[in-house]
Amino acid sequence: MRDHFIKRLTELAERNPRIMLITGDLGFGVFDEYRKRLPRQFLNAGVAEQNMTGIATGLALEGWTVFTYSIANFSTLRCLEQIRNDACYHEANVKVVSVGGGFSYGALGISHHATEDLAILRALPDITVVCPGDDWEAAEATEAIVETPGTCYLRLDKSSAGFTQQPGEKFQLGRARRLREGSDMTLVATGGILGVAMDAADELVKRGVSCRVLSMHTIKPLDIDALVSAARETGGIVTVEEHTVVGGLGSAVAENLLELGEIPRVFRRIGLRQGFSSIVGSQSYLRTRYGMDVGAIVDTVMDACSRRTTVVGGM
């Protein structure tokens, strides 16, 4: 995803001299072509992410569209006060980019596991939160947030579902993408773990269970219409995220459906439930250890199908 992000950003910045990229002292090999072409639109703020966000806000208030870039927890949680008070409060065109969402930097431990960022940032007023699931979405989301006024968060993952664009399809923030059809259950996934959800849906077909798969690449604003349709038209909803289940995608889905009175016949959340992710290892290893791999999704769906009941006012 990272490579597709920087490729699209380079193209956009060449057309728009008011786009600036600020890095927190990383990504130099990735940014070589960008820096070569656009040296006046690039700045290394050093290992000073809070200062990076303050600089970005100042430039944004002077008419720039500014991308800040660092490892997920560093560009977000370390800079939370600056994102909230400086960027969001002033509706500044600051686009916070994190590389390594979820367990992408699994071997580096909890300091590099980004498992609370979506919950915390979506709570901020006046921010758009985007978590693409494949390479096409990552590139399209980069362009979309340039065109979106105000502060945005773009969470990039080391893993990816590849390219899932369908013929003639156009990307739209706030609109989920339906990648698989099915009526027994709906899998709603965000981020690179979308690929795992799609593999799980393929495995479930072999077991006689058809799953609709939604790529919920935008967490805020959330596609309520797609969720209402899933609640009404399929046998239940299972959310899948490489993130804590507290306050993330699953929480957002449940909050919105319950408030509307749209109750799925069954609802489950797949994500981190065991406090801090204190184990280290590869991204795929940690997904398995924390119950987010294909087998875990299949087991959750099969169990949900066996337990679902008709809810009055639901289906």
Residues labelled catalytic? 49
Whole-angstrom distance, CA of residue 226 vs CA of residue 70: 32
Q: Which of 116, 49, 46, 53 is nearest to 78 (CA)?
A: 49
3-state SS assignment for residue 114: strand
DSSP run (H or E) holding 35: helix 28-37
| Other beta carbons within 10 Å of 46 | 11
Q: Pairing between strand 94-99 and 151-156?
A: parallel
Q: How far apart are CA 216 and CA 187, in angstroms?
A: 10
Q: How far apart are CA 242 and CA 248, in angstroms?
A: 9
Strands 127-130 and 65-71: unpaired
> For the chain, percent helix, then strand, then coil, each to nearest 5?
45, 20, 35
Give the separation between CA 219 and CA 217, rounded to whole angstroms.
6
- Of the candidates 193, 197, 200, 115, the one whose C-alpha atom is nearest the C-alpha of residue 160 is 193
Task: Provide CB contacts within 8 A for 274, sequence distance 6+.
Answer: 290
Torsion, Cα of 259, 247, 84, 56 (10° steps): -120
CB-CB neighbours of 311 under 10 Å: 12
